[in-house]
Homo-oligomer: A and B are copies of this chain.
Amino acid sequence: MTINRQILLVSRPKGEPTLENFHLAAPELPELGEGQVLVRNFYLSLDPYMRGRMNDTKSYAPPQPLDTVMIGATAGEVIESRHPDWQPGDAVTAMFGWQEYGISDGSNLRRIDVARVPMSAYLGAAGMPGVTAWYGLKRIIAPKAGETVAVSAASGAVGSVVGQLAKRAGCRVVGIAGGEHKCAYVVETLGFDACIDYKAGHLDEALRDAAPDGIDGYFENVGGAVLDAVLMHLNAHSRIALCGMIAGYNGDPIALKHPALLLTNRVRLEGFIVTEHMDVWPQALTELADAIAAGELRYRETMAQGIENAPAAFLGLLRGENFGKQIVRLV
């Protein structure tokens, strides 16, 4: 028999989550039934949205039930199949969650081409985070060449794609990230025009310098003080794609200091969740994979090793300790 190690959510956090909210279980895998496929998960994606699922409050998705395997996207390989459409060796992505194996009837598996694009990228720039960036930038901000686009968490899985797509659209691109090291990467490797280290203070002055013509489009992953500061530099008719507000996920709600600026600048702000816009996924995924294969879309990953280390890696992600896409390697 094969042991399938997995991480369960066993309690809900009060404020910042802790390792005690998780439990490593090690059940045996059942036998495959007729029509079923067994997948070995090579990579597990860790994403900020998972924090919301840990709470028992109204959000855009139902809370994760206690004592169940944490939700999450995975990439791996079929190792056994009793389904005519799937063969051992097929590379797939799925939503098997925080565990080493997954069993499926095939309906929730997506075939991926790992010859063109590395498998792990299908959890990042060529996967949900990439499509999130694509949708918020192209469908909400819809920048024109010459406009200035800003993005927070600029070195992250979503932000890094936002900025590179905005550069390809002919924009001036300003990143906001935590620390000199991340900022250097954002400018030198990703090609943003500027990157502001929000931990260095002087956010207002830094924004004035980095966006001398003001900001026309803002892609928000963070919220809190960063959003307050950006709001002061928005141009008339600017657009905000509201994707994440990780700054407030662990504590009390963070107020927005100057909401009247949304009126005086005639801002359009849209909150969105990319899984409600499945119509754009085929086009977005094709464009993103093509750009990665051509070497025109860069990304960076932070790899944790082993399912037992997923909780610690996730807590680090919430504190911004990752650099680029946070992944757990399971093999």
Taking Cβ atoms with an 8 Å cutoff, the residues of A that contact B are 52, 58-60, 223, 227, 236, 242-245, 248, 253-260, 262-273, 276
Please name the residue on chain B nearest to A268 by beta carbon: B270
Bound state CA distance, A254 and B236, in angstroms? 20
Bound Cα distance from A245 to B255, whole angstroms:
17
User: CA of A174 to CA of B305 in the docked complex: distance in angstroms?
Assistant: 54
From B52, B227, B263, B266, give the contact of A259 (CB < 8 A): B227
Q: Contact: B257 with A253, CB < 8 Å?
A: yes
Q: Nearest 10 CB-CB pairs, A to B?
A: A263-B271, A255-B255, A256-B259, A256-B256, A269-B269, A266-B271, A268-B270, A262-B271, A253-B258, A59-B264
Query: B255 and A60: CB pair below 8 A?
Result: no
A266 touches B256 (CB 8 A): no
Asked if A270 and B259 sit within 8 Å, CB to CB, the answer is: no
Contact A270 B266 (CB under 8 A): yes
- Distance between A60 CB and nearest chain B CB, rounded to angstroms: 5
Least CB distance, A94 to chain B, in whole angstroms: 25
Q: Which residues of B contact A264 (CB under 8 A)?
A: 52, 58-60, 271
Q: Are B269 and A260 in contact (CB under 8 A)?
A: no
Determine which residue in A59, A242, A273 has the highest number of CB atoms from chain B within 10 A of its CB, and name it.
A242
Give the Cβ gap from A66 to chain B, nearest Cβ, in Å: 21
**A265/B255 in contact, CB under 8 A:** no
Contact B260 A265 (CB under 8 A): no
Interfacial chain B residues near A257, Cβ < 8 Å: 253, 255
Interfacial chain B residues near A269, Cβ < 8 Å = 262, 267-270
Query: Within the complex, which residue of B243, B256, B263, B266 is in contact with A276, where a contact is CB–CB below 8 Å?
Result: B266
CA distance in complex: A85, B255 (Å): 55
What is the CA–CA distance of A268 and B262 in the complex, to the nearest angstrom? 12
How far is the CB of A78 from the nearest CB of chain B, in Å? 35
In-complex Cβ contact of A270 among B248, B253, B267 (8 A): B267
Given A248-B260, A259-B227, A260-B223, does the pair A268, B268 have CB atoms closer than 8 Å? yes
- Closest beta carbon of chain B to A133's beta carbon, Å: 16
In contact, B271 and A267 (Cβ under 8 angstroms): yes
List 11 other contacts, CB 8 Å, given A60-B236, A253-B259, A268-B268.
A58-B264, A60-B263, A223-B259, A223-B260, A242-B263, A245-B260, A256-B259, A259-B259, A266-B276, A268-B270, A269-B270
* Complex interface: chain B residues within 8 A of A270 (CB): 266-269
A272 touching B276, Cβ below 8 Å: no
Asked if A266 contacts B273 (CB within 8 A), the reply is yes
Q: Whose C-beta in chain B lies nearest to the C-beta of A258? A: B253
Residues of B within 8 A of A259 (CB): 223, 227, 245, 253-256, 259
Tell me the complex Cα distance, A265–B245, Å. 13
Min distance, Cβ A266 to any Cβ of chain B, angstroms: 5
A236–B231 alpha-carbon span in the complex (Å) = 24
How far, in Å, is A69 (CB) from chain B's closest CB? Answer: 24
Complex alpha-carbon distance, A260 and B246, angstroms: 10
A159 to chain B, nearest CB (A): 16
How many angstroms from the CA of A269 to the CA of B52 in the assembled complex?
Answer: 22
Q: What chain B residues lie within 8 Å of A256 (beta carbons)?
A: 255-256, 259
